[in-house]
Amino acid sequence: THHLLIVEHPPVYTLGKSGDISNLLIDEEERNAKGLEFFKINRGGDITFHGPGQIVMYPILDLEKFYTDIGKYLRNLEEIVIKTLADYGITGDRSKGETGVWLDPSVKGRERKICAIGVRCSRWITMHGLALNVNTNLGYFNNIIPCGIQDKQVTSIAKELGAEVD
């Protein structure tokens, strides 16, 4: 009944169902020239990037077998990432009112998102999931306003540690 897909995508931008297309800062011609794909999809959240060096997890779970609380599910996904980052000596945290995992979320000008989370749930079956930047080329995020959030940075495990990780 339950499945967990863990993948690494070719470079692609995805826009969630409530996302704003104006957060995509690169036109179709530029995307094609750079080999970047773009899809509107049915998950929550705004725009994000998926690509090489990023772990994307798609949990397909029947939440009726656990609990029927999407907020709790999102917090649990965040907790998995926070605990994983701790294994690398990185202190992940939550940012009030924003889904995902952040570093220094309460330090103005230092807030950095390391993991985006966007899910959909239908009849308590989960779809979509999370994207953790590991060795991701963060330059791809310059073509979007990540998650529709202005004036905050995106980071990766490699950037934080100063070296790529396996």
DSSP 21: G
- SS3 state of residue 68: coil
Q: Among all residues, which ones are annotated catalytic?
A: 147
Mind listing the pLDDT tens digit for each residue in 81-115?
999 999 999 999 999 999 999 999 999 999 999 99
Phi and psi, residue 105, nearest 5°? -65, -20
pLDDT of 41 > 80? The answer is yes
Mind listing the pLDDT tens digit for each residue in 54-74?
999 999 999 999 999 999 999
DSSP 101-145: EEESTTSTTT-EEEEEEEEEEETTEEEEEEEEESS--GGGGGGB-
Expressed in angstroms, the distance from the first to the final Cα of the chain is 30
Helix (H) or strand (E) holding 84: helix 70-87
**What mean pLDDT value characterizes the chain?**
94
Q: What is the mean pLDDT of residues 73-80?
A: 98
Is the sign of the CA dihedral 119, 113, 146, 51 positive or negative? negative
Reference 141, options 22, 26, 33, 61; nearest CA is 26
pLDDT at 83: 98
* Residue carrying structure tokens 């995902």: 100
